[in-house]
Each structure stands twice: as C-alpha cells, then as structure tokens.
Amino acid sequence: MEYKATEISSSKMFGGYNKRYKHFSPTLGCSMNFHIYFPPSPSPSHKFPVIYWLSGLTCTDENFIIKSGAQRAASAEGVALIVPDTSPRGLNIQGEADSWDFGLGAGFYLNATQEKWKNWHMYDVVKELPELLFENFPQLDTSKASISGHSMGGHGALTIYLKNQDKYKSVSAFAPIANPINCAWGQKAFTHYLGDNKADWEEYDATSLISKFHDVSATIFIDQGEDDKFLHDQLLAHKFEEACRSFNIPLLLRLHPGYDHSYYFISTFIDDHIRHHARALKL
C-alpha cells in the first residue's frame, strides 16, 4: 500500500528539526499526526537509525517532543526520534471522551476486538508506521530501530518489543504499566477493548508475556520514580521484575527517590535512554 505523509510544521532544535506530519491511516480509519526529530545530517546520503517513542495516557504526539528535551542527546548520538499519537482521532465514537483513562488518548497499543472500538488498532501501527516512514523518508534506516515509552507507552514499548524482537534492537521504559491485567487502568481498558476473555488480555501484558517470550538477550531498561503516586496500584514494576528474575531475563530497573510520574522525571533521565538505544543501534 502506498502511504503519503504531509508536513504541517517544522522547528529547528539542537541543529536538527522537529517536523510534524499528518497522513491518513487505513489501519485506524482516520487522519493521524506524528512527529519526527531529524538530527543534523553529516551528508545528504546519510541514513539515521530510529527510536520510536510511545506516549502515555492523555498524551498526543506533541507531549514528548515539547517536554522531554530528548533532542539534545538524539542530535549528539545521530538517531532520529519517531513519535506517533496515542489513539485514533476524529471518529466521534460515543463515549470516546467520557473519561481520561479510556478512549481518546488511551489506545493502550493493542488491537481492540470489540465492535464498537474496532478502529482502536494501535498495535498495528507497529506495522503501518514503519512502512510509511520507509516510503516517505529515505533519510531514515527503519531496519535499525529501538522502542521506548512512558506509562501506557511504556506498557506498549515492552509488549511490542517482546513480541517483535526481530524488529527492535533494544527497549526501555519510564514508569511503565507493567502488569495491566492486575491494575484498574488495564482492567478498564482491556474489558472495553478486548472483552472478558482474560487470555486475550495476557497478550498485551508485559509481565504475562515474559513466560512466552523469554529468549531476550538485550537488557530491558526501566526507570521508575519512587515517589510516583501510581507505582504501587497501577504500574506494578515489582511484578515485571519478578517475572524477569524467574526467567533470567536481563533487566536494569532503576528506582529514583523523590521522582514522580511527570515529564520532569523523564527529562532528567532521557539522555540515558537515548544513549542506551544508540549503543544497541550502532552495534
């Protein structure tokens, strides 16, 4: 399928450019926006490896680009940042905006099976977006890709990586929803999107997936604030840590005293994540 992307804004930063694009997504059945940060290029023929960033609940493609400061390290390391939106937009599905943790801004990076939410196929953007990038941006090397994210996006990064290790060199997350089948956010979303079959839920739960996809060689890197008010009830990092330990999966889980769930936390440690992925992408 031929995909077209149209540039709608451009801003220079650290020698490179934040560029926002729109395109029609056949997967989601609507027009979608995404951002790319292109670092300064050493030559016209140079191709950049890419890091996909998946954002959290309530976010669009703009939050990370505006708040994280990741462009400084991306520029220094010579990696492009790809930032999609978090859910379909403009479909006007009844109830899509009734609550902040479900519907708009809350796609959970899964493929919904319930008819009402049939357009909520954010997991398939894993396939559609790289094809769009390949067809529209010859300066990107989509064969060299890593994935990261925050909160709901951290959940997406972990589950997508575990199920697609042939597509990504590395994974990291900030405060991921690591065991959604056992927290209120996940239970609400999964019930509406996937129905009542708990086996279907486990396909989008990183802690559950560890037992199925435990041949992981690259270290999984997670940063978590100890003062994050969601840590113990919603994020459940310790459950994911226990699963990794059970299967001897390399996990670097850093707990940071005093830090919360915000972009203040992300911007403090984002350079470490960019460098983590840059090392993997350049091997």
Q: Which residues are catalytic?
A: 151, 228, 261
Contact 86, 55 (CB under 8 A): yes
- Which residues, other chains included, contact 16 with Cβ-Cβ below 8 Å and sequence gap of 6+? 37, 38, 39, 40, 71, 74, 75
CA of 15: how far to CAs of 37, 38, 122, 270, in Å? Answer: 11, 9, 32, 19
Strands (E), 212-278: 220-225, 251-256
Q: Is 228 helix (H, G, I), strand (E, B) or coil?
A: coil
What token pair was written down for 163? 């199920």
- Angstrom distance (rounded) from CA 17 to CA 7: 12
Q: Is 140 helix (H, G, I), strand (E, B) or coil?
A: strand
Contact 175, 57 (CB under 8 A): no
- Angstrom distance (rounded) from CA 249 to CA 215: 8
- Angstrom distance (rounded) from CA 25 to CA 28: 5
- Which residues, other chains included, contact 112 with Cβ-Cβ below 8 Å and sequence gap of 6+? 118, 119, 120, 121, 192, 193, 194
Contact 266, 67 (CB under 8 A): yes
- Angstrom distance (rounded) from CA 275 to CA 70: 10
